[in-house]
Amino acid sequence: MKYSLETENFFERVYHVVRQIPYGRVTSYGAIANYLGAARSSRMVGWAMNAAHTQPDIPAHRVVNRNGVLTGKMHFGSSIAMEQMLAEEDIAVDNDKIVDFKLHFWDPSTALSKA
DNA sequence: TGATTGACTATGA
DNA sequence: TTCATAGCCAATC
């Protein structure tokens, strides 16, 4: 079968960025999309994360929406699995939402210091 | 091939 | 401030 190199590349980029998320930090789909130059394609990041389940090294629990809400927690098998993993990284989660999200927020565009 | 969906975000009321 | 709608692009049905 045939894969779209651009799409595959996009997915790879998403995985790469997510892997760069340091311990105790989180980021948003939009931030990743923005770093990839697809700020309007934040949904594609979510789609990539859906496929990220094929990649065991993807800390998807560090990726939330712009409000810091664990929108994808249901994709971790357990509804509490995601917040538990975040709790292990000293990230407080209240009502499926990261406490002081902006303090834990990690912007790849800034952290990776794009050229 | 065409229509619908989706781990989102931004804007308007 | 909260709710509803539009836009985005790719994958799935």
Closest CA to A111 of A49, A62, A65: A62
Q: Give residue A32's pLDDT band: very low, low, confident or very high (50, 70, 90).
A: very high
Question: Does residue A3 carry a pLDDT above 60?
Answer: no
CATH (domain of A67): 1.10.10.10
Q: Which domain holds residue A92?
A: 5-104
DSSP tag of A54: G
Domain annotation covers residue A47: yes
Asked whether residue A95's C-beta has any atom of DNA/RNA strand C within 7 A, the reply is: no
A80 within a domain of the structure (yes/no): yes
Residue closest to C11 C1′ by Cα: A47
Is A40:A63 a contact under the CB 8 Å cutoff? Answer: no
Please count the structural domains in chain A: 1
Residue A8: pLDDT band by 50, 70, 90 thresholds? low
pTM, to two decimals: 0.89
In a domain, A92, yes or no: yes
Describe the crossing of helices A5-20 and A42-51 by its angle, rounded to 10 degrees. 80
Residue A115 domain flag: no
Radius of gyration of chain A (CA): 14
A36 falls within a domain: yes
